[in-house]
Every structure is written in C-alpha cells, then in structure tokens.
Structure 1
Amino acid sequence: MMTTLPTTAQLTERARTALERCGASGFEAPAPTGQSARTPITGEPLFDIAYSTSAETDQAIGTAQETFRTVWRDTPAPQRGNLVRRLGELLREHKDDLADLVTIEAGKIRSEAAGEVQEMIDICDFALGLSRQLYGRTMPSERPGHRLMETWHPLGVVGIITAFNFPVAVWSWNTAVALVCGNTIVWKPSELSPLTALACHGLLMRACQDVGAPMGVHQVVLGEREVGARLVDDPRVALLSATGSVRMGQQVGPRVAARMGRCLLELGGNNAAVIAPSADLDLAVRGTVFAAAGTAGQRCTTLRRVIVHEDIADQLTDRIVGAYGQLRPRIGDPFDDDTLVGPLIAERAHTALHGALERAAADGGRVLTGGERCLEKEAPDAYYVEPAVVRMPSQSEIVCEETFAPILYVLTYRTLDEAIELHNGVTQGLSSAIFTQDQREAERFLAASDCGIVNVNIGTSGAEIGGAFGGEKDTGGGRESGSDAWRAYMRRATNTVNYSDELPLAQGVNFL
C-alpha cells in the first residue's frame, strides 16, 4: 500500500502556481466572504475563494446576454472558430497546469487527469472544423419558383452546470461547441472543483485578448445550489446544460420547462457489461477492471454491473478478484505514476459505499474483495478505499441504484435474452458493453441495449469526442461533444424563398 502523500501545503502551492500560470488572478478571498477550496488527496482546505453573490450572478447573465445580442451572434462562425482554435493552443501549452488542478481537486490519477485535458484539446479541434460546417438543408418545394430550406441560428446565453468528476472536459464539450454556434456562456462549476474553472476562464480570456473576441462571451459564477438555481430559473438563459445526479435532473428539468427554456441533461448511469461464453476473457477482465475501478468508481460511465454467463461466472469472477488484488498496493497519491486508484471525493462518498455494501449483504450479496478504507492514519480527513467486488444472487434494489463509488456487482445469466433483460432492468441508460466473439450476439445487443452508448469488446468508460455523448431514460436524453450534438445549441428555421412573380399557396389552396 502506498503511504506517502503530499502535504496540504505542497498541494496549495502547486495549485496557486497552476492558477497563476493559467492567467487566473484575484482568486483568494479571506473569510468570512470566502469559501474553502479543498483537496480530496488530504481532505483538507487549500485556501479561501470568493463565491458569487446573487447580484453578481445576475450581472454575469446580463453581460453574456448583451454580448450575444450586440456582437457574438453576428460574428461569422469561422471567426468564432478562431477563438476556439486559440483556446486549444493555450490548452496544449498549459496541459500540465490544468492536469495538476484536476488531480488536486478531483483526486484523479495523473494519466486520467492528463487524459481529461486532452479531451479539451480534442473538442477544440473538432469545434474549429465545425465552425465551417453548420450545415442546413435545401428541400424541393411543391410550388414553382420557390426554394425551401432550413437554416440554423444561435440560441443566446447557454448556462453550464458541471460536476466534480469531470471538472474541465464536460465544460469544454459544451463551451467549444456553443461558442462556434454563436452562443455566450455562463458557467457554474461544482463547488468541489472551483479552481479548475478559474484556470479555464483565465485561459479563455487570454484567447479572447489574443484574437480580439469580446471578453463577455464567457462568465464564471462560483457557489453552491443557490447560484445554480439562478441559472435554472432565469429566462435569459436559453439553454441550460446540466451534469449531475438523476435527482438533480428531476428538479432542474421541470423548472426550466416551466419557463419554456431548453435543457440538455447528462445525469447518472448504472452501466453494465454482458460477458458471453465466447468472450476473450483476457480482454473482458482488462476492460472490466479499468471501467469499474478507474477514477475510484466516480465516473458517470463507471461499470457497476457485470452480467456474466453462468458457465464462466466462477472463472471470470476469480480473475477479476485477482486483478483487484493487484490494485490494492497501488492505492494512494494520485500524483505518483505508479498509483492506479486515488481518493474518493469526500466523506459522503465513503458513507454511500458502506451503506450500499450493507444493503447488498442484506439482499444475499457476498463481498469477494474490497470495500475497506485505507491510508486513514496517513490522511485521516481523506477517504481512500479498496474497490469492491460483490457477488449478487439477483438484481436487487441496491443494484438498481447508482452508488458513486467503486462497487462492482456480479450477476449471472443463462440466455442472452435474460442478460438483456437484466441489463435494461434499471432506470438509467447511459453506457453499456458486451464482450463476445459471436457476431450474432454482438448485433443483438447493439440493437437491444437501451443506452445512449453501446460498445462491443470494450468497457463502458472512455468515450471519444467524435461521437455524441449521452444517455436515455433517467440519464436525461442529452447529447454533448461530437457528431451532430451541435444542434442542441442552435435553433432551426425553415425558410421559403419565392423568386417568382406569382404567389401560389401550398397544397393547392385558392384564396383571392
């Protein structure tokens, strides 16, 4: 077990350095006006930062709206793309600085933190190309001398509410695409990850200066639920993109709908992988372990259920438990290159993990490995845990819930129909996978999985930016990142152009 952790003083200095290098300034605010930024690595506060007041939040929305109306929506899309291009260049220059902040605030191991920043770079590349490809259609008109077409236009102010587990990538998915579509941004990050937001805002402001874009295109507001609620309820926010729990989405969605606003919701997942008898077990074990234990089980795409054929269940389970044994000595300092599992975000995640394990045991589950807290002596205010594997006799109530912690439930099946029924038998619908070398099984699963992401012979996590990201059912139905997800940030207009000197009506109607 790794036991050497950096001190809070060391992490504080590293965070300050990264923030200053990214162009963030004036971020510290003494108590009582400030709130503490914390790190899950030691569980202790770093320094105080200023939260946004209600008046400051309203002003931020107003600035974004005015910038949209007076400048940004009329700026040609390729010029808007130039801003995103420059942001991508700055992200490349400051990849290590941002990765430092992601590790300090979210507890991600170094390679995952760097990978998250790479996602930001990739989406900037994607959005730059998109700025010249916001295509509409031309359709044949039934009337002579007429042209029928559709055009796409920006919405206005886009509010973005992000979660702690991907503190910068999800912001970039929304921001890069929304900006080239002609929208302006107000971002409310998680109260658990404000420092990454300040750094990203600093880099984007530098990009605005470098290319001559208006500074008002992007605003950051810091705070807790009250600040997010102002974005939810303000009619000036044309689209609210919110990432978080299903419960959060169930509250946000109706409130935005009540004011006839638009929502883009990315909510919880309870992701499963079906392991068929024909599966390459080496591949299945590797894919399962990363998807289940990566980010200490704190991804929305984390693998939470393995549905394995009963003929290979014991063999697969033994191999997964063996692989988890190799993780145990590699839990610890996420800055250490040998570490594979960093800390949980906070005490409440640890409480949820143990509550779930107790409920699983009451339902007949058997913990095969993990679930124990570690490094408690070295960091009494931090929460490091051994990822757990639990053999379950059935898909009980606790298995159908998402516990945002590293618990992997193992269930068995006899027929593929039964596996698909188990897989779809939860309210969430984000990511799914099947491991099989049988093409018929693979194709049936691709058609039958009710998730927004369906994979074959890879795990449930690790989406690329080229595809649209999002899920169905309680996951919210939103789509971000690649493919045609850009359409969520624009409004469609159907246009008819009459270039004749007649005025025929559609459907042969005669009137005058």
Structure 2
Amino acid sequence: MLCTVRAAAAPLLLPAVLPPRAAAMSTLLVSQPRYAWLRELGLSEENPGVYNGRWGGAGQVVTTYCPANNEPIASVRQASLEDYEETVKKAKEAWKVWADIPAPKRGDIVRQIGDALRQKITVLGSLVSLEMGKIFVEGVGEVQEYVDVCDYAVGLSRMIGGPILPSERPGHALIEQWNPVGLVGIITAFNFPVAVYGWNSAIAMVCGNACLWKGAPTTSLISVAVTKIIAKVLEDNKLPGAICSLVCGGADIGTTMARDERMDLLSFTGSTKVGKQVALMVQERFGRSLLELGGNNAIIVFEDADLNLVIPSALFAAVGTAGQRCTTARRLFLHESIHDEVVAKLAKAYAQVRIGDPWDSDTLYGPLHTKEAVKMFLDAVEQAKQQGGSVVCGGKVINRPGNYVEPTIVTGLPHNAPIVHTETFAPILYVLKFKEEEEVFAWNNEVKQGLSSSIFTKDLGRIFRWLGPKGSDCGIVNVNIPTSGAEIGGAFGGEKHTGGGRESGSDSWKLYMRRST
C-alpha cells in the first residue's frame, strides 16, 4: 500500500461547559461533551424535520451517522405526506407576500441570510465534516460558497430584467417582462449539503420565489441547522417562515415533489439514474426541471505540459472529498511519452496524502459517506482488475473505524472499458494512454455525462481547439487547472446525462423565472 494513514486527532471544537451527566451517557454524539458545540446550531437528540413557519414533523424518525466512526449523531423526525401537503400550501401563501416585495429589498433579506451564515461558518462547517465526512476546510468552504452566492444575489436583485425592444408598429412598445415562477422545489445531495441549496435558494429568492427544500436523508441535521439560521432572519424581518420551507424525507417525499403540479420548478441534484426518473415525472406533467447529475470527468495531459502543475492538480481533482464530488477527476489521459513518469510521480504524491478524522486540521482525505459507498468502491476495483487493469496505488479498505478506503490509481485499461465509462462515487482514478489530440478529445467526449473536463498544455492553438466546437462537450471546460472546483460568478452545470441544468451565476437566474413578451 502506498497511501499512509495519519493518526486521528482531537475534534476541532471543544465544549466550554460540560452538559449534565445524564446527557453525557447518551450514545448519540450530540449529547456527548466533546460535541456540545452542536447545541450552538440548535440541535438536540431528536430534531423536527419540517419547517413551514413552525417546526414539526410526524413521519419516520431517522438517525444520521458520522462517516468517520459510524457513530450516531442525532435523529430527525421526517415529514409525513400530510406534513408535505400542509407545507406546500403555506409556501404558496408565503409566496404571495414575498413576490410583492421589491427585488432590491428581497436582496437585502438574502444579504442578511449570508451575514447570519458568516456568524456560524466555523460551527456549521464542523457539522458538515461530522455528518457528511468531508475535511473541515472543505466544510467551511462549502458554507462560504453559500455566503458568496448570497453576496452575488444581492447585486443581481438590482439587475434582473428584460430589454425594451423596437416595435415595428408605430406608437407601440415591445417589452420583455420577467416574473418569478412561484414555488421552487430543491432536492439536494449528500456530497454538497449546504452549497447546492445556497446556489438555488439565494438566486430563486431574489427572483421572487418561495423555496421548498428536501435535503439528503443522510445529512438531515445540516438541512435542519441551515434552515434554523434562515428562519431566524425571516422571523426578525416579520416575514412568513414558509418562504424557505423544509421537508426532510426520503424517496416518497421526493417522488411527491416531482409529480406535484404546484412545484413550478423542481431543481434536482443527484445521480443520473434517479435524475432520469425525476425528469420523466416532471415532464409527464409538463413541468419545469433543473437537473445537476453525474460526471465522468477527464484530465488530458499533453507532452508539453508543466508537470509541476499536473501532479497537484490531478491529486486534488481525484482525491478531494474522497472522490465524492460531481466534478471529481475519474479519468486521466496521459500522452504515451510521459505516461510512466507521471504515474510514478502521482503514486508518490498519493503516498503523502494525510488520512484521518475530517475535523483534524492536518487531514487532507477523509472517509466515504456510507458503508454502501465502500462496497461500491471495492466492486469497482474488482471490475477494473477483471477488465485488465492494474492497481498501482490503493485499492483496499483502510483498517480503522469509519468508511475509509485507500485513494486508488488504476492503469492498463482501454479508454472504452466498461468500468472506465461507469461513474463510481469513490477515489478511483483510471490512467489511460493516448497518442494524438484528435483521438483523446473524442475519448473525453465519448462518455454519457458532460460535466467537467481539463487539459494541460502550453500550445495556444490546442487550447482554443479544446474550447471550440470540436473540443470538449462539457459544461465546464478548464485549461491547466483541475476539473473540480467552480466559481459562483459563472453558470455551473453540464451537458448530456449530466442534465443540462445551470445554477449559480451568469444568466442562471432565468431558469427561476418565466418570460413574457
């Protein structure tokens, strides 16, 4: 094994005052002294998972677990279908109030939400590390993305609108009018349990929409904690809490949202498989959907590339968030003349990755989110071997508590091997050889998804061919930087089986509005 495991360290945040002795005996982490900081977010042993101006929930009680040790954190009472029905009605009523507020004033409310998140950024980032499993700096960074998109949305609130066009009829005006769609349903995934909701809700709100959020069941505490922060801002401004409603739940709630004609727009982030089902249900009622699905992302390294850029970039793109980003690099195409050199250097870099508890500030690599993800990782490694691949680094489960696996490099597979064309949400990087530019551009585009892509080269002509119509067919096209990571000022999303949706910046706001001429 080339990857080393770093000893676990103490949690980042420690309680100032010990809780009562009885609570400390609880098996739930929320009641243990070292995790008393969870109380700062308003969390307790059992938390209501429905918010529509008041907190409640009459559905199943679900416990969430820490991926670093598989210990229970706390539980959330999910929404029943009756809770969902009540919440939709209240959200629709709240929209009537919200839509009448001038857009710049709506922007000011979103600004206050961003400020409230700033005040809780460290403790909320710690919760992301604890419940999702990503390292602390990424947890804080994810909350910062929500803060940043709030700042962006404030400016946007004074700019949204359409043009006045020349009319061919004398004495007439031709106006393009943009209005909010109404109620935006937002279904988010476990891997970015804060940021994706922020991308959607901040933009949707300044456009004049109410929001109904269903987060991933395995990160329900994050959904509750974020909603508590937003609810306080709405309450302080004497606005209906149902403007930003929450319904924690599973597939039953998600299916109901997809089929509900009262959902004027449904934004779904998740797997391509489930996204296709959602798209069909929404389309069956001629509804609107915004899909952010999977990505089988590639980095292409040409013989003239600066390897001092390539090695850290490939490492970050493949290993960051333990390979659980939709923009994670899963394929690495190397020109045949530099293949062996890059593989050797990359394996050496993998061996230096510090593995440990995600809340340890020295950790660079944490656990997979669930035990099921570990099984999928092992299955994919075995399939890669059966299809002719060689494991250069990793490939095994790490012997420690939690859902830890070794970051893995596989070589020797053809570009069209079935496992190479399969998106596995795990830190497996398939390293592949190529000879010519034309063939490798085609190989980049031959997978079903079209989210992110990157090339490393110094050839300006090649760069512009890569950016042009015969280059990458992805929604995010990078040059000399990793596939992972994005800026909120640009539109985020992908093509083909990635869903075609766009969120965050640029003109993504138009998806949350309807246009009249």
**Do both proteins adopt the same fold according to a TM-score greater than 0.5, normalized to the shorter chain?**
yes
1:370, 1:274 → 2: CA distance? 22
- 2:73 pairs with 1:46: yes
Deviations 1:282-338 (A, max 9, x none): 1011110001000000000000000111011111111111100111xx111111111
Amino acid across the alignment from 1:21: E
Q: What is the aligned counterpart of 2:241 among 215, 223, 247?
A: 215
- 2:283 pairs with 1:279: no
Deviation at 1:25, TM superposition (A): 6.9
Deviation at 1:351, TM superposition (A): 0.9
Secondary structure at the aligned position of 1:193 is classed as helix
Amino acid across the alignment from 2:360: D
Amino acid across the alignment from 2:219: S
2:79, 2:260 → 1: CA distance? 16
- 2:375 pairs with 1:351: yes
- 2:273 pairs with 1:247: yes
2:502, 2:72 → 1: CA distance? 35
User: Which residue of the partner structure matches residue 466 of structure 2?
Assistant: 445
Deviation at 1:220, TM superposition (A): 0.7
Aligned length: 487
Q: Is the 8 A contact 1:160 1:174 kept in 2?
A: yes
1:62, 1:32 → 2: CA distance? 18
Q: Do the aligned partners of residues 160 and 83 (structure 1) sit closer, same or farther apart at CA in structure 2, a change above 3 Å counting?
A: same
Deviation at 1:26, TM superposition (A): 8.6
User: Which residue of the partner structure matches residue 21 of structure 1?
Assistant: 40
Deviation at 1:155, TM superposition (A): 0.5
Q: What is the aligned counterpart of 1:468 among 460, 468, 491?
A: 491
Deviation at 1:212, TM superposition (A): 2.9
TM-score, structure 1 as length reference? 0.92
Deviation at 1:59, TM superposition (A): 1.0
Q: Do the aligned partners of residues 383 and 24 (structure 1) sit closer, same or farther apart at CA in structure 2, a change above 3 Å counting?
A: closer
1:251, 1:172 → 2: CA distance? 24
1:490, 1:18 → 2: CA distance? 39
Secondary structure at the aligned position of 2:289 is classed as strand
Q: Do the aligned partners of residues 204 and 32 (structure 1) sit closer, same or farther apart at CA in structure 2, a change above 3 Å counting?
A: closer
Deviation at 1:38, TM superposition (A): 1.3
Amino acid across the alignment from 2:317: A
- 2:406 pairs with 1:386: yes
1:6, 1:145 → 2: CA distance? 73
Q: Do the aligned partners of residues 226 and 358 (structure 1) sit closer, same or farther apart at CA in structure 2, a change above 3 Å counting?
A: same
Deviation at 1:120, TM superposition (A): 0.7
Secondary structure at the aligned position of 2:352 is classed as helix
- 2:137 pairs with 1:106: no
Q: Is the 8 A contact 1:40 1:107 kept in 2?
A: yes
Deviations 1:436-471 (A, max 9, x none): 111111111112101000000000011010110000
Q: Is the 8 A contact 2:453 2:472 kept in 1?
A: yes
Q: Is the 8 A contact 1:11 1:104 kept in 2?
A: no
Secondary structure at the aligned position of 2:294 is classed as coil
- RMSD of aligned alpha carbons: 1.9
Amino acid across the alignment from 1:468: A
Deviation at 1:10, TM superposition (A): 5.2
Deviation at 1:16, TM superposition (A): 6.9
2:34, 2:324 → 1: CA distance? 22
User: Which residue of the partner structure matches residue 438 of structure 2?
Assistant: 417
User: Which residue of the partner structure matches residue 173 of structure 1?
Assistant: 199
Deviations 1:44-80 (A, max 9, x none): 2222221110100111111111111x31111111111
Q: Do the aligned partners of residues 12 and 344 (structure 1) sit closer, same or farther apart at CA in structure 2, a change above 3 Å counting?
A: farther
- 2:461 pairs with 1:435: no
Deviations 1:222-266 (A, max 9, x none): 111111111111111100000000001110001001111100000
Deviation at 1:2, TM superposition (A): 2.3
Secondary structure at the aligned position of 1:368 is classed as strand
User: Which residue of the partner structure matches residue 482 of structure 2?
Assistant: 459
Deviates more, 1:392-401 or 1:468-477: 392-401
User: Which residue of the partner structure matches residue 304 of structure 1?
Assistant: 330
Q: Do the aligned partners of residues 298 and 136 (structure 1) sit closer, same or farther apart at CA in structure 2, a change above 3 Å counting?
A: same
1:284-299 alignment runs, 5 A limit:
284-299=310-325
Q: Is the 8 A contact 1:19 1:195 kept in 2?
A: no
1:18-417 alignment runs, 5 A limit:
18-23=37-42, 27-28=46-47, 33-68=60-95, 70-327=96-353, 330-376=354-400, 379=401, 382-395=402-415, 396-417=417-438
User: Which residue of the partner structure matches residue 507 of structure 2?
Assistant: 484
User: Which residue of the partner structure matches residue 506 of structure 1?
Assistant: none
1:258, 1:349 → 2: CA distance? 32
Q: Do the aligned partners of residues 431 and 14 (structure 1) sit closer, same or farther apart at CA in structure 2, a change above 3 Å counting?
A: farther
Q: Do the aligned partners of residues 253 and 366 (structure 1) sit closer, same or farther apart at CA in structure 2, a change above 3 Å counting?
A: same
Amino acid across the alignment from 2:411: R
Deviation at 1:211, TM superposition (A): 2.6
Secondary structure at the aligned position of 1:278 is classed as coil
Amino acid across the alignment from 1:66: E
1:212, 1:41 → 2: CA distance? 40
For structure 2, the residue ranges without an aligned partner over 5 or more in a row are 12-26, 49-56
Q: Is the 8 A contact 1:430 1:471 kept in 2?
A: yes
Q: Do the aligned partners of residues 425 and 456 (structure 1) sit closer, same or farther apart at CA in structure 2, a change above 3 Å counting?
A: same
Deviation at 1:194, TM superposition (A): 0.4
1:400, 1:38 → 2: CA distance? 31
Deviates more, 1:72-81 or 1:464-473: 72-81
Question: What is the percentage of aligned positions where both structures have the same residue?
Answer: 47
